[in-house]
């Protein structure tokens, strides 16, 4: 099975009762500003290149963002920041990501959420994180032939990437590499190409409104990913 089958499979997953309820309740209630729009209200598959050099690992879909549009990081403020930066560093064909049929392409990059369903307060439980991990493992396996750089957004994405790549047979240094903005760790794999893991503050409003993450800082890490992918 390939990425399309994986996407189809994850989009009907109902393994986490609390998240199934939340994603559907939000889709049913709708935010007033989107009252006239359909909501996806289901798990969010990966999006982007099928043979990416760069894999970007986020946290979870936003209730009124990807949970509405059906495409990861699409239709919310975090996505506005992320796609604008991907475009500035040459990794996205458009600077905006508004809805799933807007024509945006990521020729060399794939975006995934660690937990595929929108969680209340953007906080999945450890159990939900672990229940969803096989979907990330399978996606990572399907793109393993081409991925050289992994960008982890936030410490949640960083830890998920370390766990996933360890399960995939990569060496993860002990003690485990610390997350930070611009942190870099090489995850070697015997007999195969390794990947470089890059840490990046999550472009959440909590970080962008407060100035903890600026556009220049985001461009720096994504630009570094693009440069590493071209090497
Ligand atoms: Fe399934 Fe993951 Fe959604 Fe849980 S979070 S219901 S495992 S897709």
Q: What pLDDT band is residue 35 in, cutting at 50, 70 and 90?
A: confident
For ligand 1, is residue 60 a contact (CB within 6 Å)?
A: no
> CA dihedral defined by 61, 64, 68, 73, rounded to 10 degrees?
-40
- Give the pLDDT confidence of 45-79 residue by residue, as tens digits: 999 999 999 999 999 999 999 999 999 999 999 99
- Best mutation site among 7, 8, 10, 137 for ligand 1 pocket (most ligand atoms within 8 Å of CB): 10
**pTM of the predicted model over 0.90:** yes
In angstroms, how far is the first alpha carbon of the chain from the final one? Answer: 30
CA distances from 21 to 99, 106, 176 (A): 23, 31, 35
| Contact criterion met (CB below 8 Å) for 154 and 204 | yes
Q: Is 49 left (phi over 0), alpha (psi -120 to 50) or beta?
A: beta
7's enclosing H/E stretch is helix 3-10
The tokens for 102 are 């807007």
Mean pLDDT of the region 117-130? 97
Mean pLDDT of the region 129-158? 98
- Which residue, by CA, sits nearest to atom 2 of ligand 1? 132
- 227 burial type by CB count under 10 A (0-12 exposed, 13-18 middle, 19+ buried): exposed
Domains of the chain and CATH, by start: 3-230 (3.40.470.10)
For ligand 1, is residue 15 a contact (CB within 6 Å)?
A: yes
For ligand 1, is residue 125 a contact (CB within 6 Å)?
A: no
């Amino acid at each position: 099975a390939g990425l399309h089958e994986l996407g189809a499979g994850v989009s009907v997953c109902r393994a986490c009762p609390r998240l199934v309820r939340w994603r559907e309740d939000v889709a049913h209630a709708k935010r007033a500003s989107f009252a006239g729009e359909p909501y996806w209200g289901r798990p969010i598959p990966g999006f982007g290149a099928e043979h990416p050099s760069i894999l970007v690992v986020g946290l979870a879909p936003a209730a009124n963002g990807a949970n509405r549009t059906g495409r990861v990081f699409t239709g919310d403020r975090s996505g506005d920041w992320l796609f604008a930066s991907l475009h500035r560093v040459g990794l996205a064909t458009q600077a905006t990501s508004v809805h799933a049929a807007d024509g945006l392409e990521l020729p060399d990059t794939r975006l995934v959420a660690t937990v595929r369903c929108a969680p209340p307060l953007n906080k999945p439980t450890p159990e939900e994180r672990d229940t969803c991990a096989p979907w990330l493992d399978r996606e990572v396996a399907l793109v393993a032939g081409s991925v050289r750089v992994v960008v982890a957004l936030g410490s949640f994405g960083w830890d998920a990437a370390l766990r996933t790549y360890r399960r995939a047979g990569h060496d993860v240094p002990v003690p485990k590499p610390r997350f930070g903005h611009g942190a870099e760790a090489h995850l070697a794999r015997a007999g195969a190409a390794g990947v470089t893991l890059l840490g990046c503050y999550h472009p959440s409003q909590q970080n962008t409104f407060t100035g903890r993450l600026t556009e220049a800082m985001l461009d720096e890490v994504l630009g570094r990913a693009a440069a590493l992918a071209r090497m």
